Structures are given as C-alpha cells and as structure tokens.
Amino acid sequence: MLKRLPHESSSDKIYQLRGALMMVAVPLVLVTIVLYVLPSISSNESIEDYTLTHRKISPDNRASSSYAVVFDAGSSGSRVHVFHFDRNLNLVHIGKDLELFVQIKPGLSAYAQNPQQAAESLITLLDKAESVVPLEFRPKTPVRVGATAGLRALEGDASDRILEAVRELLKQRSTLKSGPNAVTVLDGTQEGAFQWVTINYLLGNLGKDYSKTIGVVDLGGGSVQMAYAISEADSAKAPKVPGGEDPYVKEMFLRGRKYYLYVHSYLHYGLLAARAEILKVSDDSGNSCVLAGFDGYYNYGGKSFNSSSSPSGSRLNECKTMALKALKVNESKCTHMKCTFGGIWNGGGGDGQKNLFVASFFFDRAAEAGFADPNLPIVKVRPVDFEVAAKRACQTKLEEAKSAYQRVEEGNLPYLCMDLVYQYTLLVAGFGLDPRQQITLVKKVQYRDALVEAAWPLGSAIEAVSSS
C-alpha cells in the first residue's frame, strides 16, 4: 500500500513561502546595494568611458601608460610630436612639457627630385623622438608620418617615391611600431578633423553638446581646413559630393557623445600655395601684392613663378582684387543654400562655428606684423586687424621692411602685403566672417599646468593609441 503523506499545516506552507521569497529578495538587495555604492555615471559619459576611468589599476602597472610619435610633414617644414598618455588618455608630462615638439625646414616636398634625401631629412627628428620614449615602450609605440598638402601638390609619382623612402627609413632605423598605413598623405578631411579633435580635447570640450565646442580654421602652407560641429538636422541637409570626394560631414563618437563634424579642406589655398595662385593672376607682369623693390622668382610645388613688384609697388586695393580672383569668389556658382568659395557648401553655420579658433599661419603672420604678441599662446583679434596690418605693409618698400618687420624671415618679406591681404580676404570673402567678429588666434592651448601645441598630430595620436 502507498503511504499517505501527512496533511501540511498552515505554518509549513508559510515557512516554504518565506524561503522562496528570501531566494528572490537577497539578490535584489545585493544588486541595489551595488548600484547605490557605485558612483553614478554622468549623462555625458559612456559605459566604456566609465569603466576606463573608474576601474582600479595598480600604480606600478607599466602598461597603464602609452606613447605615440607623430610626424607632421607639412609643405613649409617637418615637425615631430611625441605624446605620453595615461590609461584614461590624459596627457602625461615628458620632462617639463606635455609633449616633445621639434621642427626643421624645409619640408619633404622640397626634395621632390631626391626621395632618399627627403627621408634622411627626418633622421634628426626621429632620433630625438626615440630618445624620450623608454626602451621597453618603443616596440609598442605607434609612429605615424602624416604628409599634408605639400606632398599632395607634387606631380607624377614624386609623392609616392618620397613616402616609400620614409617607410624604408623607419623599417631600417627605428624600433617604433610602424603599421602598414603609418606613412601616408593625409587627406584634407583627416587633417581638419584631427585639428578639431586636438583643440576641443585640450579645452575639455569633448563630451559636451556640439554647441559648446569651438570651430577651427587651420591655415597651412598648401591647404586650409575649416571644421566645426553641426546639428544632426543640419548634417541631414549636407549636399552630396561627386564620387571619390570626401563627404562634407564626418561622424565621430567622442567621450560618449556623437558629433556631426562639418569639415572641408581647400587644396591650393594654404598660404604658400595661395602665393602661387595670386602670382598666376598677374601672369608674368608685375604683381601689386609684391613689395616694391623685389624682382625675382617664387618656387612652390616644384614650379617656379615670376615674382616681381609692379612699377607702382604694392597696393592694398589692387592686391585685394587679385586675392579675390585667386579664391574664385565671384566666379564659381553656388548650387547650395550657402557657399564659402569655389562653390563649396559652408556647413550651414550655427552654434558650433560661433566660437572660432584660427591656427597656424594666421597666428604666425599676425605676430610678425605686430598685432599679436608672439609670447602668448592665444590672442583675440578681428579679421579687420589683418586688413589694417596689410595696409601698412603694402605701403612699405622691401628695403624699409627689413627694419620695420624684423620678425619676418627674409624669404617671406616680399610677400608680407600679399599674405596679410590674402588672410583677410580668406576670412571675410571666403568664409563669410564679419570683419569685426572676434576670433581667437591660437598657437598653443593651456592644458592643466602646461601649454600644448594646437596642431592636428595630437588628434592623430589619440586615434593611434586608441586603436593600437
């Protein structure tokens, strides 16, 4: 016979129910305690950023820091930047500075006929860069060589041969980590985007709303870039570009926030390249942008251009007309809502462009012309200041300029009127700025207790370290 189970009492049922409730409640309580004890994650911080920032790492763990070496092979010279990061991608001191920065002249494009000599010109920079990277870090330290507009402007296979010679130099002479794409010609979109990342990183803007970021105009030797963050709605209105060209908008995810970055690079419109374009306007006759008393030639991109002053010397208004022709401001049709110059969409403007930092040759010429203190990292000016300085320079003869503008290198003196007129024209007629709008000339940016060069290589280094 089967044995009958005794009848369960009410107390037995209550006991069993209490046990089941405890099995569910204990894990819930533990989860609640963990969530309460952990600091909250801010709305601007992604889960990945939170775990990277808050996990506990032993201070003795050497892998918690990293280095990056970036060569900026520009048209006017070559520069090397060495950066040291902690595991949170904050910059760490190298000696008393937050980067090693060394530069030489001329740039790689000056060796168009001799690729081997071009590569060898980087040896002193490479040796100095490696000297500050600890021996055990070198095999895992990414090295990048980013050639910019100077090499882009070379004809034929000259650029490719120079890049191959540089790759061979790194392979034979360096122990740094050199990947298959370590030596490249940066396209203008990359250069502009890296510059925007660099300055906003140093200012602590990454992770904030796009309206809190700053826009950047970077005037190099061979090209000029404009980059600024726009709204998602404006990015959806971006015109389509012909096949093979860089799109107007680059999407970037930085510090837990997605940015729509308007960026465009204008090849042949950097300061040194623009000189050639302005000299072309006058053909072989005298040029009203060249200081009186100069008669010679201007060499750029492997070509030589007749460069002589007009009989009446340099004149502001005539030079403006030539600069406008070089920019093709009134010649190209705008098929979009609003354009800069050459029929290029301007990005729509907006909050991301209101606070504008202008870099590189803008700062250099302003300092040399005397309306910006060269000892300051940033200077507030207006586009009209370039016009005022240009008026004075254009009235100066070459011999007088040698004493009046002692900061200007001898080779640049004949073109001081031209450079300043072009910079004013580029900002106002080209990019559509109000002549009296305040802009910020930037050479370096204060980051913690040090000044850091406001150049695109830091943005490249951040990407290199993040992906290595």
Question: Which residues are known catalytic residues?
Answer: 191
Residue 320 token pair: 């403006």
Dihedral of the CA atoms 266, 272, 273, 277 (nearest 10)? 120
**Interstrand relation of 100-104 and 378-381 (parallel, antiparallel or unpaired):** unpaired
- Fold equal for 62-186+455-467 and 188-437: yes
Residue 295 φ/ψ, nearest 5 degrees: -145, 105
Give, as one character, the DSSP assignment of residue 372: S
The C-alpha atoms of residue 67 and residue 83 are separated, in whole angstroms, by 6
- Predicted pLDDT of residue 189: 86
Which are the contacts of 46, defined by CB distance < 8 A and separation ≥ 6? 255, 256
DSSP-assigned beta bridge partners for residue 77: none
- Predicted pLDDT of residue 465: 86
Q: Are 418 and 396 in contact (CB under 8 A)?
A: no
CATH for the stretch 188-437: 3.30.420.150
CA angle 100, 102, 103 (to 5 degrees): 155
Which residues in the chain land under pLDDT 50?
1-8, 10-11, 13-15, 17, 20-21, 24, 26-62
Short-list 382, 393, 384, 389, CA closest to 416: 393
pTM of the model: 0.76
Helix, strand or coil for residue 39?
coil
**What element of type H or E holds 111?**
none
Q: Return the CATH superfamily for domain 62-186+455-467.
A: ATPase, nucleotide binding domain (3.30.420.40)
Short-list 307, 283, 300, 331, CA closest to 417: 307
Residue 281 token pair: 């306007």
Q: Helices 383-394 & 316-327, crossing angle to 10 degrees?
A: 130
- Predicted pLDDT of residue 63: 56
The C-alpha atoms of residue 348 and residue 51 are separated, in whole angstroms, by 37
- Predicted pLDDT of residue 292: 97
Helix, strand or coil for residue 10?
helix
Q: Residue type for 161, please?
A: R
- Predicted pLDDT of residue 57: 33
Residue 206 token pair: 């990454």
Classify burial at 328, counting beta carbons within 10 Å of its beta carbon; exposed 0-12, middle 13-18, buried 19 or more: middle
The C-alpha atoms of residue 464 and residue 12 are separated, in whole angstroms, by 66
> Where do the structural domains in the chain lie, given as residue ranges?
62-186+455-467, 188-437
The C-alpha atoms of residue 235 and residue 233 are separated, in whole angstroms, by 5
Residue 283 token pair: 């053909």
Residue 19 token pair: 């046990």
